[in-house]
Each structure stands twice: as C-alpha cells, then as structure tokens.
Amino acid sequence: MKITLILCALAANALAATPILVRVTPKTLADLQARDPMIRLVKPVEGQVKVARPDNQSIIKDSTILHDGKNWTLVPNGAVVFMPAALKTRVNTKPVGNLLSWQDFLIQNRAWVTTNEVTFEQAAGTEALPADRVLSWTKQDKIVIAVHQRGPISVRVSAETAATTLTLR
C-alpha cells in the first residue's frame, strides 16, 4: 500500500508540466501601470528642484582617520578621548591602504587602540568621564576611542575632564 502511494506521488510529479513564464514587454508593463496606480512610475516634474548634497559636507571631513600603514578606518570627530604623543602619527593623516569597518580595524589593531564605553550623558557632556578611568589611560600606551554599544561615538568633553586630560598629555 505504501509503495503504491509513493509510486503515484512520483508519477504525478513527473507528469506535471513546468509552468510557462511569460516575458513582460514594455506594452504589458504600461498596461499594468495604467490599471494599478500603486505601481506607476513617477517621473519628476519639469522645473522641480532636485535634492543635492551640500558641497561643504563630507564624511571624511566629519571624521577622524585612524590608520596602521596598511589599513584605515573612520571614527566620528570627538571619539578619540585620549591620544599618547607617540601615536599622533596614526591619527588624521592621509588614508593609505584598505578601508576597514570599525570592528575589523579594532580587532587587527588591539595593540595600540582600545575602547572606553560611555553613556549618552557622558557623550553629551552633561556627565563627566570618571577621573580614575581618565588617569588609567596614561598608564597604557594606546589611543582610547569612546564607544557606546561597541560603536564609536563623539564625546563632548566637560570642563573638568578637559582639564584632567590636558594635564595628562
């Protein structure tokens, strides 16, 4: 009984015809668009102002470039919260090599780049960065990038933090 059912199922699949696909011609496409207003292609009105990107805006200008000589990445301006003098040559120079995502760049350059998790209040500058954490950055010879949920974020430095950081550099 089972064998008969299996053979019938296989025979039905073998005898089934393959569906024929009809090519869409420009005329049929125009007919479809005329019948259904949701799929009409909208052409811009003549004389309508097109949206353009301002000339003075650039992701490169609004970012800090970190590079290791072979690869580079972008972090927002203000994300570098501590930079030892020995590593200043690796920041904001002409990018050379391949552009990497932040995560890939961080993985490859953990020897000289580290992160510091900040809250939104700290990033906005309404809450100061903890002084003990700022002091610990001087003990390591690494560039410190502010991150929120593992992504780089700009930090508006409060007056107290700025004074502490400037005295450490």
Helix (H, G, I), strand (E, B) or coil at 58: coil
Do 165 and 134 touch, CB atoms closer than 8 A? Answer: yes
- Please give the pLDDT value at position 167: 45
Residue carrying the six token digits 């993985």: 107
Q: Could you give the CA distance from residue 141 to residue 15 in angstroms, rounded to a whole number?
A: 73
Cα 73 to Cα 95: distance, rounded to the nearest angstrom = 8
Q: Which pLDDT value is given to residue 100?
A: 92
Percent of the chain residues past pLDDT 70, beyond the cut: 76
Query: Which pLDDT score, from 0 to 100, does residue 168 have?
Result: 46
Q: Which two tokens stand for residue 113?
A: 């780049």
Indicate whether this model's pTM tops 0.85: no
| CA 66 from centre of chain | 15
The mean pLDDT of 16-39, rounded to a whole number, is: 75
Q: Is 5 left (phi over 0), alpha (psi -120 to 50) or beta?
A: alpha
Q: Which of 95, 89, 90, 92 is nearest to 76 (CA)?
A: 92
- Residue 30 has what DSSP assignment? H
